[in-house]
A and B are shown apart, each in its own frame.
Chain A
């Protein structure tokens, strides 16, 4: 017989009380774990999207007429020809103070040029950076591997009636079609994509850049600061963060998280209160018993540890059960929140168990102090 065992036995004597004490923690931790793992998964999903977008900052010349939006590129030939950015600006972007946060700075050059007798928009970007700048591109055929190769957007391919292996002529040169993009829903569907240098040569603008796509290494990176610093480095350019869509989705997750945290906090507070009330009731009920324990030589500390062991057992069991229930709930609810891959994240569960223990013990502090302060004469006085 030791205090731990005494506490354990006491719990079994008052099963319904123990269940009631544990219920608050169970519900609180269950809610907490469910919400935390759901938001973690939602964040992961959003982060995946962010990463797939690649670039998150767009640098364009400060030209009123030229409106280049991500996914909404409209071109007036004349304006494009007068692109005011150059390859030298890449260095300037690379040398901002937060440059170590820049994962990539990709120059794009757009020009309208002949393609086998049709006037099409040519988009040039460094051939080696295509895979990173447009990771979502799917194509039949192969990516560009050497000079003299192009990729056709799906509409351009249809208009030219060319496929992989075909040739496109422009400015007296022959280009081999390496691959054809599957429809992306973007303007590039109608474009011919080639290496930057070749498109610059076609446009007769050897160092010209229409826009830069900048990808910052981001989880919580200071995009606004980076935007500001690039703006300072390139006074003639308009720099904008292009994460609105993702950001708004992220804001929704944040909102959900805040709401969830609020709900968890309330449920946890109620759980703590339930512990407090039930343990306080148990102390009141056991005045005599505590007096006897004091009379037979229990120090105050022993009474404290008896009560803490009791709620410790209950908190441990109920928070483990709560965490499991929370994980299960998150798993079941995942599809409702558009989360496809629902792996089990252990850290919210562990955190939940820790919080549950903390909560149980915290709720026990006032009643335990009260119990320890009880006079041992209570046992005898009741005679």
Chain B
């Protein structure tokens, strides 16, 4: 049986007018459902590239990526978009909320191409916003929310389709450490509820929450090992 998430010999090359940079070099990884993986490494080591390849945002130059037994390279662009929507939730360092939409509307955005009652969508968004601790702030614009609150909105947005996998690229990078902790608590909670979490981070303190740590260097996996029992910090 194939692992939940499987990368075999994945390489990602970027060509920049003549020069070719290898962001990933023959990376092979197997990640099981329910793992909480932190990915660390120097800037430029290939962490973000790894996430985009994992999330089906880009197709690797060579190698294969499969999630839940689905080979991503076999999917058409549309099927890949559908796959992302159903399977993967993205959380970005810069939140990437749409500034002209309220918190509720931002959470509903991934549903907007879908046929569903407006009422239904809004109710689902409100439930999620409450679950990330934003009860009563549904109608605020991002400019009326703090950084931590914006990131909570972004997490709620990532959860709108209840995806089994969460990919987060330095989600606490723009937050002060206390707020960052709260966001990490939220991720821990989601992990406990059964999500598979892959998080890129600079912060070694995160290691106490994860089940596995992968360290990248120059596009290669430099370290990969299990961590101590999670949730000790809680």
Q: Are B100 and A288 in contact (CB under 8 A)?
A: no
Q: Are A297 and B161 in contact (CB under 8 A)?
A: yes
B212 CB → nearest A CB, Å: 22
Q: Which residues from A are CB-within-8-Å of B52?
A: 376-377, 380
Q: Are B113 and A289 in contact (CB under 8 A)?
A: no
Q: Does A375 contact B (CB under 8 A)?
A: yes
Q: Are B100 and A298 in contact (CB under 8 A)?
A: no
B95 CB → nearest A CB, Å: 10
Q: Are A298 and B48 in contact (CB under 8 A)?
A: no
Q: Does B227 contact A (CB under 8 A)?
A: no
B85 touches which of A296, A377, A380 (Cβ 8 Å): A296
Q: Are B92 and A293 in contact (CB under 8 A)?
A: no
A5 to B102, CA, bound (A): 13
Q: Are B118 and A1 in contact (CB under 8 A)?
A: yes
Q: Are A9 and B105 in contact (CB under 8 A)?
A: yes
Closest A residue by C-beta to B116: A2
Q: Are B92 and A3 in contact (CB under 8 A)?
A: no
A145 to B158, CA, bound (A): 93
Closest B residue by C-beta to A305: B113
Given known A299-B78, A301-B78, contact A380–B169 (CB-CB < 8 A): yes
A289 to B99, CA, bound (A): 10
Contact with B along A282-315 (1 / 0, CB 8 A): 0000001100111111111110000000000000
Closest B residue by C-beta to A302: B113
A111 to B137, CA, bound (A): 101
Q: Which residues from A are CB-within-8-Å of B170?
A: 383
A170 to B12, CA, bound (A): 114
Q: Does B84 contact A (CB under 8 A)?
A: yes
Q: Are B58 and A296 in contact (CB under 8 A)?
A: no
Q: List 13 A-B contacts (CB under 8 A).
A: A2-B112, A10-B100, A13-B100, A297-B113, A298-B81, A299-B77, A299-B113, A376-B57, A377-B57, A380-B51, A381-B48, A383-B92, A383-B94
- A residues neighboring B (CB under 8 Å): 1-3, 5-6, 9-10, 12-13, 288-289, 292-302, 375-377, 379-383
